[in-house]
Amino acid sequence: MTNSTIPQWVKTELTRVDDALARGQLEQSSRLRAISARFDARKKLIVIELENGSSFAFPPYLAQGLTDARTADLAQIEISPLGTGLHWPRLDADLTVEGLLSGVFGSRSWMRAHASKAGSAKSPAKALAARANGAKGGRPRKTPASPAIA
């Protein structure tokens, strides 16, 4: 094929190859990829080793789909071919490495529900403080703001 028979759109795309390769290499280098993942039954943590040499761990009760799982189910972890995702086949649960590192342990609605449980924790210390506050007359009422002095 001679240069004159190459369509113009192909010539245009060929000029963009170097930029596309550079962008792809930058994107791949910035991604954090898992090279191994395991469930540490003794510590009750999922441990993920990353390609860059670091590792991180999290308790399964934090993650959507892993909350009430048995040890045998948590131990079976598959890593996606690119190392960007984790899959638990027995639980049909999937999480991204990038999301886990960002503190995203499930869908938006699941995270919202999980966070609301944390705020409604009850403890003897919290109950004692509420009773003491009630004995003082409760939370002070809000007073209207006084006008600013000019």
Task: Locate the domains of the chain by residue range.
Answer: 32-117
| Higher-confidence position of 64 and 135 | 64
34-40 sheet: strands from edge to edge: 34-40, 45-50, 55-58
CB half-sphere exposure, 149, CA atoms < 13 A = 0
Higher pLDDT pick, 117 / 10: 10
More confident call, 25 vs 43: 43
More confident residue, 21 or 63: 63
**Which overall architecture, per CATH, does domain 32-117 show?**
2-Layer Sandwich (3.30)
pTM, entire model = 0.60
**Whose structure tokens read 């999980």?**
114
